[in-house]
Amino acid sequence: MKNAPIAVDFIQNLPQSSNPRIVIIGGGFAGLKLARKLAHKPYQIVLLDKNNYHQFQPLFYQVATSGLEPSAISFPLRKIFHKTSNVHFRMAEALSVDSTAQILFTSVGKISYDYLVIAAGADTNYFGIENIRKNAIPMKSVSEALYIRNRIIANYEEALNTLTDDAAEEMMNVVIVGGGPTGVELAGALAEMKKSVLPKDYPELNFDLMEVYLIEASSQLLNGMSEASSEKAKEYLTRLGVNVMTKAQVVDYDGQKVSFKNHAPIFTKTLLWAAGIKANHLEGLEEASYTKGGRLITDRFNRVSSYQNIFALGDVAYMSTEKYPNGHPQVAQVAIQQAKNLADNLLLWRKNNDVSSGEKFVYKDLGSMATVGRKLAVVDLPIIHFNGFFAWITWLFIHLMAIVGVKNKVFIFLDWAWNYLSFDPSLRLLIRPRKVKQEEVSELLEPIKNPS
């Protein structure tokens, strides 16, 4: 294995190393797993992420519905690698790559690499509808989940001061677009809040006016899960009072009215968009390396087509196999398993000095699940499908074990236990940053402009 010469680094304070350097873009499931697998191994690892923390995406909806604090599902990346001398973290956004010079350009400077691993995840896909991009609320980060919480609470505060039922209804209605796990879990949580939580806070409001809508363009919810689980999830949601609309395609949203291709419009101030994702894009790679959804075409070793030392993992990777001719599902387990396989191959290549060997990636489907509400969930395992209370307990256990950090596990367990016993989450705080006045900014800058 021939190592490229180490160029001058413009990202500061990275030590030189005789070991090959692997630059990992993204601290999500794939990037974090890869970095942890290569800790204390004969590589120098540089992990880049625009945030300085790992986010546990499957529980974003609980932050949005006041079930968990944002800090409970976030973990500082630096803390993970306190005792790992060969792993270095930099908070930076990857901008473009020069594959010939083996240099990655970031928001904080350049960095050279021997291997580049793109695990940048995916962002919200608005399918080219500009009004929806401007007016809908996505949920792809902790900050967006917190924004949803603030928006919902602010709308209810405003609804108290409206003069007509129509205006109040518009404030109180919530429309969720996308019938995948995120949309199903969010709809169930909001329906339960409508029934048991919000009326305590707003006794003056008529909650008969509030409707929770779940919109799905295809014929069923939870595409990718079994038909039985899809039907059971729909049954649970209907029982909770959610208006489930399948074969309903949203074509526009102006901030007040949701327009459909084949249904009457719905009026709401809150449209939550969970209808699709597209891979985050890195400039500098050949256009031929990209395919539908902005994903990067890879071989069975997760190596990006046309490149020998650039890899893609997780949501950004498009690997066509006999079982998955259209690429693997964009879920956490795929990302984690691909990262583990790549780590094993990198160690083998380092040992044998031969990049032609290694294990091809084979996805082992461990199953999928979604929770719909208290004591309600659906679980598909390779050999069995089940739902109800036991499925809910299974969902809780699997997600709790997947959380990074013992403290976070304890906090989430305590929050879940309290919420189950009291059914009254205490996180319904409307926290908005105060707008700083221009004169206050000038006062702060005065010592800099006119040093004594």
Whole-number pLDDT of residue 196: 87
Spatial contact of 147 and 137, defined as CB atoms under 8 Å apart: yes
- 8 compared with 165, residue with greater pLDDT: 165
Q: Determine the Cα–Cα distance for residues 35 and 220; give it in Å rounded to an integer.
A: 38
Whole-number pLDDT of residue 228: 95
Name, in order, each residue with C-beta under 8 angstroms of 431's C-beta and a sequence gap of 6 or more: 146, 150
CA angle 398, 400, 401 (to 5 degrees): 65
Q: Which residue has the tokens 């990275």?
A: 14
Residue 97 has pLDDT above 60, yes or no: yes
Q: Determine the Cα–Cα distance for residues 420 and 239; give it in Å rounded to an integer.
A: 19
Q: Determine the Cα–Cα distance for residues 375 and 389; give it in Å rounded to an integer.
A: 5
Q: Once rounded to an integer, what is the mean pLDDT over residues 159-171?
A: 91
- 373 compared with 298, residue with greater pLDDT: 298
Whole-number pLDDT of residue 436: 52
Whole-number pLDDT of residue 55: 95
Residue 5 has pLDDT above 80, yes or no: no
Q: Burial level of 221, CB count in 10 A (0-12/13-18/19+)?
A: buried
Q: Determine the Cα–Cα distance for residues 430 and 157; give it in Å rounded to an integer.
A: 10
* Options 3.20.19.10, 3.50.50.60, 2.40.50.100, 3.20.20.100; CATH of 21-50+92-124+277-352: 3.50.50.60
Half-sphere exposure of 329 (CA within 13 A, CB side): 15
Residue 214 has pLDDT above 50, yes or no: yes
Instruction: Tell me the pLDDT tens digit for each residue of 349-377.
Output: 998 887 778 999 999 999 999 999 989 99
Rg of the chain over Cα atoms, rounded to whole angstroms, equals 24
Whole-number pLDDT of residue 292: 93
Whole-number pLDDT of residue 414: 86
Whole-number pLDDT of residue 417: 83
Q: Where are the domains of the chain?
A: 21-50+92-124+277-352, 130-275
Q: Which residue has the tokens 């109180």?
A: 172
Top mean-pLDDT range of 150-159, 163-172, 306-315, 411-420: 306-315
Q: What are phi and psi of 196, to 5 degrees?
A: -125, -15
Q: Once rounded to an integer, what is the mean pLDDT over residues 153-167?
A: 90
Q: Once rounded to an integer, what is the mean pLDDT over residues 202-218?
A: 94
Residue 426's pLDDT band (cuts 50, 70, 90): low
Residue 405's nearest CA partner among 26, 36, 143 is 36
Spatial contact of 91 and 46, defined as CB atoms under 8 Å apart: no
CA angle 322, 324, 327 (to 5 degrees): 125
Residue 434 has pLDDT above 60, yes or no: no
Q: How does the average pLDDT of the chain come out, rounded? A: 90
- Per CATH, 21-50+92-124+277-352 and 130-275 having the same topology is answered yes
CATH architecture observed for domain 130-275: 3-Layer(bba) Sandwich (3.50)
Spatial contact of 351 and 368, defined as CB atoms under 8 Å apart: no
Whole-number pLDDT of residue 3: 44
Residue 386's pLDDT band (cuts 50, 70, 90): very high
Bridge partners (DSSP) listed for residue 260:
250
Spatial contact of 81 and 39, defined as CB atoms under 8 Å apart: yes
CB neighbours (10 Å) of residue 430? 12
Residue 252 has pLDDT above 60, yes or no: yes
Whole-number pLDDT of residue 427: 56
> What b/e readout covers 250-269, taking b as 16+ CB neighbours within 10 angstroms?
beebeeeebebeeeeebebb
For the record, the structure tokens of 26 come out as 């993204």
Whole-number pLDDT of residue 352: 87
Whole-number pLDDT of residue 1: 41
Q: Determine the Cα–Cα distance for residues 70 and 62; give it in Å rounded to an integer.
A: 9
Q: Once rounded to an integer, what is the mean pLDDT over residues 146-158?
A: 91
Q: Determine the Cα–Cα distance for residues 160 and 345; give it in Å rounded to an integer.
A: 60
Instruction: Tell me the pLDDT tens digit for each residue of 35-73.
Output: 999 999 999 999 999 999 999 999 999 999 988 888 999
Query: Which helix (DSSP H) or strand (DSSP E) does residue 118 occupy?
Result: strand 115-118
